[in-house]
Amino acid sequence: TQLLEQSPQFLSIQEGENLTVYCNSSSVFSSLQWYRQEPGEGPVLLVTVVTGGEVKKLKRLTFQFGDARKDSSLHITAAQPGDTGLYLCAGSNFGNEKLTFGTGTRLTIIP
Amino acid sequence: DAGVIQSPRHEVTEMGQEVTLRCKPISGHDYLFWYRQTMMRGLELLIYFNNNVPIDDSGMPEDRFSAKMPNASFSTLKIQPSEPRDSAVYFCASSLDPPSRVNTGELFFGEGSRLTVL
C-alpha cells in the first residue's frame, strides 16, 4: 500500500502570511495531484504534476514535485481567508490508476 | 453540465439495515471512483470502474460492501447489513481519463452522501 503523509495536519495563520505544506511518501508516483476541499463539498483539483522537479504556479499557490517523485510541497504566498480548507495530495501510477489520497492538511486563515 | 450527482445527501439508519448510495457520473467520463471519508482514516478509495467494469476493489472493507455499475450513467454502493463503524461521508467521483493524465485526469467529485448508522 502506498501511503502519503501530509504535514502539518493542522495549520492556522494570519491573513497575509506565507505558508508551506508537505506531502511525503516512501513510494514513487507517476503523477501527483493537489486538491482543496471545503466543508460539505467534494475535493476540487488544483494542479497535477508529473515530472520530477516540476514547479507549477497557480496565482499565489506554488506546487513542487520532488526530484525523485516521492514528495511534493504547496507554498501559499500572502494567504487569504478564501484559502481556508482541507488540502489533499493524491498520487497515482501509470498502469494502476487508483488515486491514493494523503492524510490532509487542514488550513485556517484568520482575517 | 450538472456535475457528479449523488443521492441521498444524508442517510440515517439503524444497524443491520441495508443502505444503497447512488451516483450519476459526468456524461462521457470513463472512470468512476467510490471513496469513503472519515476524520480518523481520511479519504479512502473503495473501488473504481473503467468503462463500467470494476478494476480494483481492494479497498472494499468486507463482504458487506458491494458496488455495481450497470451502465455508463449510474453506479450504486450497497452496504448490507450496515454497522455503526460504516458511518462516514461517501464520495463518488468520475474522470475522463486516468488520474495520471495531466490535462484530462482530473477527478470530479460529487457532494457526498453522509451516512450515519445508529
Q: What is the pLDDT of residues A8-64, one digit of tens each?
A: 999 999 999 999 999 999 999 989 999 999 999 999 999 999 999 999 999 999 999
- pLDDT for A8 equals 96
The C-alpha atoms of residue B118 and residue A64 are separated, in whole angstroms, by 43
Contacts of B102 in chain A (CB under 8 A): 31, 48, 50
Separation CA B69–CA A70 (nearest Å) = 33
Cell of B8: 441521498
Q: From the CA of B83, how many Å to the nearest CA of chain A?
A: 23
What's the whole-number mean pLDDT along residues B96-114? 90
Q: What is the pLDDT of residue B61?
A: 87
Report the pLDDT value the prediction gives residue A3, as an integer from 0 to 100. 83
In this prediction, residues B9-36 reach a mean pLDDT of 97
- The verdict on A31 touching B (C-beta cutoff 8 Å) is yes
The pLDDT tens digits of the residues spanning B64-76 come to: 999 999 999 999 9
User: Per residue in A60-90, pLDDT tens?
Assistant: 999 999 999 999 999 999 999 999 999 999 9
Residue A96, pLDDT above cutoff 90 = no
Q: Is the Cβ of A88 closer than 8 Å to some Cβ of chain B?
A: yes
Task: Say whether A46 sits in a helix, a strand or coil.
Answer: strand
Q: Do B109 and A96 touch (CB under 8 A)?
A: no
Cell of B9: 445527501
What is chain A's alpha carbon radius of gyration, rounded to the nearest angstrom?
13
Confidence of residue B2 (pLDDT cuts 50, 70, 90): confident
Residue B1's pLDDT band, with cuts at 50, 70 and 90, is: low
pLDDT score at A60: 97
Question: What is the number of residues in chain B?
Answer: 118
Q: Is the peptide bond before B81 cis (omega within 30 degrees of 0)?
A: yes
Query: To the nearest whole percent, how much of chain B has pLDDT over 90?
Result: 86
pLDDT at A102: 94
* Residue B47 near residue B32 (C-beta atoms within 8 A): no
